[in-house]
Amino acid sequence: MPAEAKVSAKVNKPAKVDARATAPGSPPLTERQEARRRRILHASAQLASRGGFDAVQMREVAESSQVALGTLYRYFPSKIHLLVATMQDQLEHMHGTLRKKPPQGERAAERVAETLMRAFRALQREPHLADAMVRALTFADRSVSPEVDQVSRQTTAIILDAMGLEHPTPEQLSAVRVIEHTWHSALITWLSGRASIAQVKIDIETVCRLIDLTAPDAHE
Amino acid sequence: MPAEAKVSAKVNKPAKVDARATAPGSPPLTERQEARRRRILHASAQLASRGGFDAVQMREVAESSQVALGTLYRYFPSKIHLLVATMQDQLEHMHGTLRKKPPQGERAAERVAETLMRAFRALQREPHLADAMVRALTFADRSVSPEVDQVSRQTTAIILDAMGLEHPTPEQLSAVRVIEHTWHSALITWLSGRASIAQVKIDIETVCRLIDLTAPDAHE
DNA sequence: CGCTAATCTAGAACAAGTTTCAGACTTGAT
DNA sequence: ATCAAGTCTGAAACTTGTTCTAGATTAGCG
């Protein structure tokens, strides 16, 4: 198992491609490029679904997606970037799916817990994929911050959706952040076999109680 | 930056050494072996203090600690094992230090928050070391579960100490678990530059409020 | 259509984690 | 003190992430 040979890596690149999907900032991709990008993400998710983080090998991703290794690296400057992008992609699906059937609970805490448990059940269907994405997310270093942040924003949006809030207070945002922390860390302990599914459920329900604390007598 | 070349790794080894320090389970180490182990952990912490996770290179650790590469791997079957063991080591110090000056807060929540903030300030003094240890901890896969669990137990002990509890209820244990989740994840976001120190403080204080929920009218 | 810059490809090369191997050294028990 | 089993060493080999290079292709433009 080779190691993280970055040290002096992932700097000075001519004109990266990545970083679109949600931020068409740089040059808009041509159709073929968009197609390549999609093939890559698909191959990544597929390999991840098989064997998790370790099974996503850059050479294999390149081959599966019919792209040269160098090109793969032009689109995603590292394996971590690739997997985080894969997560962004999956999260979008998820958010779309969740939107359709909003949770029924009466209190916000219940709705958030139910939403997260739904997401959790979805992840359980592809535990290897979950492994790859979550491990990449928590292992990411500063060079991936923008992408990780994007994932975080998307997650926040999902939770706020479930809470039914438009203009959260700073207090409520803190609670949401703590919920996200718990969500990620609980997933990790489940993925590494140190906590059962039931345990994760309890932890999620426990942390969601914080929501009740942040707007008990408030209106909305 | 090489990758995780484990796949078929870290299985069938004759008679590992590792796994003592707290669990003198297997064969007791001779004096020279104990010394080697200590040299290795010291070298690991030193290299980590310099440049974080990436700076802990197995060849360098071996050289610094005057041990052959093969021997290093006999003591610690992977870089992750090594760094998690380094964390166990540091945590013991920390627990000892914290014991001496127990936090003063009145409510349990305050004491826990203060304790964690103390630990956080200690980590801030060696951010690179913190980076190496925390990244290893969250990246660890199933093969490191026992060691990661040990770290988790030690952390739990520290928190329960601060709460002043001997016999926590299941509810309280849930709260403690959630606090640990938040602690780890908040550290990650700080280490990767996505959250400020102030933010981490707020998150810790926020999650600690859960404690008040678990034994409000209970006695003590 | 013909040109130039940017992009893509195939493949070699490099870095660091991990494994393997033959031989020297220790340890523990006889 | 002596021998077998278990350790340690030094060095090479292997794996997979990452970088680099030279030559094809493609895209956009006049």
What digits encode the pLDDT tens for the residues A141-152?
999 999 999 999
**B110 belongs to a structural domain:** yes
SS3 B194: coil
d(CA B184, CA A115): 23
CA angle B135–B136–B137, rounded 5-degree value: 90
Interface test with B, best of A178, A179, A200 (most B CBs within 10 A): A178
**B122 belongs to a structural domain:** yes
Examine the pLDDT at B167 and tell me if it is beyond 70: yes
> What's the start-to-end Cα distance of chain B, in Å?
52
Cα of A17 vs its chain's centroid, Å:
20
Q: Under a CB-based contact definition with an 8 Å cutoff, are residues B191 and A140 in contact?
A: no
For range B123-133, the mean pLDDT: 98
pLDDT value for A215: 65
**B162 belongs to a structural domain:** yes
Domain count of chain B? 1
**A49 belongs to a structural domain:** no
B71 CA: nearest nucleotide by C1'? D8
CA angle A150–A195–B170, rounded 5-degree value: 110
Q: In which domain, by residue range, is B117 found?
A: 80-214
Residue A177 burial class via C-beta count within 10 angstroms: exposed 0-12, middle 13-18, buried 19 and up: buried
From the list B51, B65, B22, the residue with the least C-alpha distance to B128 is B51
* Residue B35: CB less than 7 A from any atom in strand C: no
Q: Could you give phi then psi for residue A167, rounded to 5 degrees? A: -125, 80
DSSP state of B2: -
Q: Read off the amino acid at residue B86.
A: T
**Which of A10-19, A141-150, A164-173, B2-11 is the least confident region?**
B2-11
Q: Under a CB-based contact definition with an 8 Å cutoff, are residues A139 and A130 in contact?
A: no
Angle at which helix A31-51 crosses helix A79-100, to 10 degrees, equals 90
pLDDT value for B209: 93
| pLDDT tens string A92-101 | 999 999 989 8
**A41 belongs to a structural domain:** no
**B2 belongs to a structural domain:** no
Domain harbouring B135, CATH code: 1.10.357.10
From the list A15, A10, A41, A40, the residue with the least C-alpha distance to A26 is A15
d(CA A25, CA A77): 17
**A132 belongs to a structural domain:** yes
Tokens describing residue A178: 């703590």
d(CA A167, CA A179): 18
- For B1 and C13, how far is CA from C1' in angstroms? 14
Cα distances (Å, whole numbers) of residue B100 to A99, B94, B103, B149? 51, 10, 10, 25
Q: Under a CB-based contact definition with an 8 Å cutoff, are residues A76 and A21 in contact?
A: no
pLDDT value for A5: 37
**Which of A2-11, A28-37, B43-52, B80-89 is the least confident region?**
A2-11
B4 to chain A: closest CA residue: A1
Contact A145 B209 (CB under 8 A): no
Contact A182 B186 (CB under 8 A): no
**B66 belongs to a structural domain:** no
pLDDT interval class at B12 (50, 70, 90)? very low
Contact B6 A54 (CB under 8 A): yes
Q: What is the tally of helices (H) and strands (E) in chain A?
A: 9, 0
* Residue A7: CB less than 7 A from any atom in strand C: yes
* Nucleic strand D contacts from chain B, 28-47, CB < 7 Å: 32-33, 36
pLDDT value for B212: 85
Q: Read off the amino acid at residue B182.
A: T
pLDDT interval class at A213 (50, 70, 90)? confident
From the list B94, B108, B102, B95, the residue with the least C-alpha distance to B207 is B108
Examine the pLDDT at B217 and tell me if it is beyond 70: no
Residue A129 burial class via C-beta count within 10 angstroms: exposed 0-12, middle 13-18, buried 19 and up: buried
pLDDT value for A196: 98
Contact B2 A5 (CB under 8 A): yes
Q: Where are the alpha helices (DSSP H) in B101-214?
A: 108-125, 127-139, 145-163, 170-191, 197-214
- For B43 and C19, how far is CA from C1' in angstroms? 22
Q: Under a CB-based contact definition with an 8 Å cutoff, are residues B210 and B173 in contact?
A: no
